[in-house]
Structure 1
Amino acid sequence: MNKKQGILYSVLAVTLGLGAIPIGTIQAEGAVSPPVGGAKASPLTANNDHAEAIYKAALPLLSSSNKLPEAIKYLNANMYAVGSYRATIMTLKLENLHKAALPAWESKFNTSNVQRKLTAIYKAGASMKNLAEATEDLALRTLLKSASESGYKLETAEGTFFPVIDYAAYRKYKLYVTNDISAYISIMATESDLPSSKDNGLVIGWTDVAARALSQEQFIQNYPKSNRISAVKSLYSIYVNNTFYGQNNTPLFHYDNLEMDLEAQKAYSSILIKNNDTSSFLQKLDGFMKLMKDNNFKLNDEVEQFRKTTMQL
């Protein structure tokens, strides 16, 4: 696993389409489909002609990565006035553009000169805007400021700095989009706020690993026809794998004695006590924990076979 796979897995999980999209269709994930998931009334509802005019004015801004800062400002100021149908399309088109533009931004950051300068000023948790204000280097300041205004944030792994989509900034659109995309934003913003792993190891607890898997599974069950169902399914498969295997630097079973991590035992047992619904994920976890108890919480051929079977489901 490389450093970027440890950050926002879902960014690599989906290839999204771009281009102007008529009302009634959203081009993404290789398919064309209307927004689904239930309309959510905006606090203020403009007349249809006004909403359509705002929407049409947004389309040119959402057609070029060079216009990302302008597009973000426009959406922030006008999203409330277009209704949930158009708001959903505008939001997903913005994400499409963010994903398409990301490789170019990665290239701008992936130079020895930029990396060296960032190493000198970087502080954990600092925003790109704050880092831009902290440097006297005009070129670096311009790069950081532009990336920030374009909707990206800075991440680091294995000593390298790179931009990722700042999904937390999408939270302001949750009130205006359809229910499924509101839930999708919550899932992605959680990943953006605290990526699950870095440097081939989990940086969240076992309880959070399972809780995120449950949240993703709920989305899949509630919104099977959502435009972003493939993205969430891909993310869910990663969390199922993390649940039953961990990662190289944080394995579920210790390499030396093949015993299951004690904190994972406690976390999974607690989750099963607190949740007794018919979740497929919880059923797998319950069967796994019963098998672990029967095998004194040690990895053996029977446990390994269970894990392989589980991952095939």
Structure 2
Amino acid sequence: MTEQAYNIIKCSNNSETPSLTHVSEFYLLGFSEDPNLQPILLGLFLAMYLVTVLGNLLIILIVSCDSHLHTPMYFFLSNLSFADICFISTMVPKVIMDIQSHSRVISHLGCLIQMSVFLTFACMDDMLLSVMAYDRFVAICHPLHYQVIMNPRFCLFLVLVSFLVSLSDSLLHNLIILQLTSFKSKYIANFFCDPSQLLNLACSDTFISNMIMYFILTVFGFLPISGIFFSYYKITSSILRGPSLSGKYKAFSTCGSHLSIVCLFYGTGLGVYIDSALSHSPRNSAVASVMYTMVTPMLNPFIYSLRNRDIKDALRRLHSRIV
């Protein structure tokens, strides 16, 4: 299917360009029509998926098995790894199946399910990064009260709240999309069911829906990142007031891995939205989305294992047990 086939036609009441009602399936955008590239794409996406799943499973295994890592920071990290596995699993297996079957069809119900799970775990990532920033804030700014504040019950409560907020975000988006009854086209200009793309396909006036979606994005996106900025503002202020240079370095090093993931997560996400706004090519936008949806979850385990001494030590202990 050519890229031009993904151009959206105008809705009208005449017979030449009728709107599509009761759509039972959609067609997703592929990365290339070249048959010689299909095996390469298949191998690339399969490798990225396996590395992501195995890397994050290894993080979960290490945190679960090593008593030295039974702390709030690594409890949140293991939950982030689980969210990353679920996040990438909503898209990549479907992409791999589409390349193998040479079919990019997804049912209307399947599209809604994929969108729901994608939004839930994307928001879960967002919320957990904010929770992890709060954990670092308490550890550095209130070290004497850290064990009392970040007790196991409160940590579990924070994860539960993160999940419920993420589920609410997904449900609100679903309620908006379920209002759409007629579409301009069956072709979604992305490799997964992006809610913004589905809104663009709607024949009805979507001004109110767009405003509601932007409001949801502001609430569920702006508040977590504001919490991260505030936490690191307080952390930086506290560290700079410290007298010891080695103490400052140690405090900053404990935040390095988390800061790297925050920059990667929000940097790639912002890059995708900027590229989507500036680029007129759906395929280019889809390729840019790969960074946000696939590369970021794949790199998270490497960032924590390469930059974190506790994880490295736990890996050595696990290796010595096995050998």
Query: Is TM > 0.5 for Structure 1 vs Structure 2?
Result: no
Which has the larger share of strand?
A: 1
Which has the larger share of helix?
A: 2
| TM-score calculated relative to the size of structure 2 | 0.29
| TM-score calculated relative to the size of structure 1 | 0.30
